[in-house]
Amino acid sequence: MLTRKMPKTGDELSILGFGCMRMPLKDGAIDEPRAIAQIRSAIEAGVNYLDTAWPYHGGASEPLLGKALQGGWRDRVKVATKLPTWLIHSREDMDRYLNAQLERLGTDRIDYYLVHALDGVSWDAIDSRGVRAFLDQAKADGRIVNAGFSYHGLPEDFARIVDAHPWEFCQIQYNYLDQEYQAGTAGLKHAASRGLGVVVMEPLRGGNLALPEAPPAVAALWDQAPVKRTPVEWALRWVWDHPEVTVVLSGMNEESHIAQNLAVAAQAAPRSLTAGELELVERVRRTYHELMQVDCTGCAYCMPCPAGVKIPTCFDFFNKMHMFGNGDEARFMYAAFGGGITGGGTTGFASQCVACGECLEKCPQHIAIPEMLERVAAEMEGPGFEGLLAAARQHLKRDL
């Protein structure tokens, strides 16, 4: 496992961090024995940065991580979690949530504590409630060791938040598709110029850059590479090629994915990609942008939907239909999942959207969700859809 130093703290951190937002599930809840085994095996392999947050898995992620670190594992790692800004209405709330998180995690300190999901508006709001004094006090009394923030806002607000407080680190979404999105490359470089460590989330764009079979147009480009790598390796190595990046978080919830990511993390040194390889990644980036219809990462911050729409699922099948050109297959799978035939038993079609707008303020990607769902409904639920739905039901009966 390669490591990089957090600039202001001197901590030697594994370049691969374990993200606890997408843990393995069983019967709709975290599969605790499997998740704990995955976390501990990653630590044994050299991972020493683990990231969670108050809302992940409906609040179950922090307690799960606390269980995984019992029995001597806690002192081998740095734990990161986040202050839920949208739930904070007073200075007292900040202490209340931090103290609850310490209890959930079964620890006396948070090594890397982030103000969660900032944009310009939410920063101004929580700053007015005294968050900087809170962070200073929590550091002074030892409840947190280092203070940072995660960002989901516009490019122009990122630099002023970086400059507003002596942060130790920040967390940004960054991958080869999102070079000019949210903080982007300019934000990455600005944070590094101020001495902040940078933790990267969504390096695989919610798994879209790690599909077992890339879209044909993308696969044709990867086939031109003189060095053969999987799409996952290309995506991760591109992020790690930036020396400004300290840690890359991966939401690893399959044992094979963990092994694959660990293998890449053993080799991905900064500035190790050639000019030709970087140009190839740029061509792949342009191709993906031509194919993808919705910039959804599947984070599910928009859920639950009051109207029952399975928003990330709708967007996933819609994107895949356009990326792979498999209209019939994508619409059939959409009918099966959206119709509740598989994947939960309740309907969740795009056409159920009532444009209430509740999802809009929750989406860190700033997607015009109701408008996009209208497009999904028009293309996925058009002529012949009732027949597809009936066929999906019949297919399930045959399998049973």
What are the pLDDT digits (tens) for 292-321? 889 898 888 899 999 999 998 898 888 888
Task: State residue 395's pLDDT score.
Answer: 53
Identify whether the C-beta of residue 81 lies closer than 8 Å to the C-beta of residue 21.
no
pLDDT value for 399: 39
Alpha-carbon distance of 64 to 52, in angstroms, equals 10
How far CA 316 is from CA of 70, 294, 322, in Å, comes to 37, 8, 10
Domains in the chain with CATH codes? 3-289 (3.20.20.100), 311-397 (no CATH)
- Residues (pLDDT < 70) of the chain are 338-345, 392, 394-400
Predicted confidence at residue 269, as pLDDT, reads 97
- SS3 assignment, position 65: helix
- Supply the pLDDT for residue 344: 53
pLDDT of the residue at 382: 87
pTM of the model: 0.83
Q: Look at strands 110-118 and 144-151 and give their pairing.
A: parallel
CB-facing half-sphere around the CA of 297: CA atoms within 13 A: 22
Contacts of 210 by beta carbon, 8 Å cutoff, 6+ apart: 204, 231, 232, 235
Q: How many Å apart are CA 110 and CA 128, to the nearest integer? A: 24
Specify the pLDDT at position 400: 33
Contact 60, 27 (CB under 8 A): no
Task: Decide: helix, strand or coil at residue 63.
Answer: helix
Tokens of 224: 């031109």
Q: Structure tokens of 165? A: 């407080």
Per-residue pLDDT at 323: 78
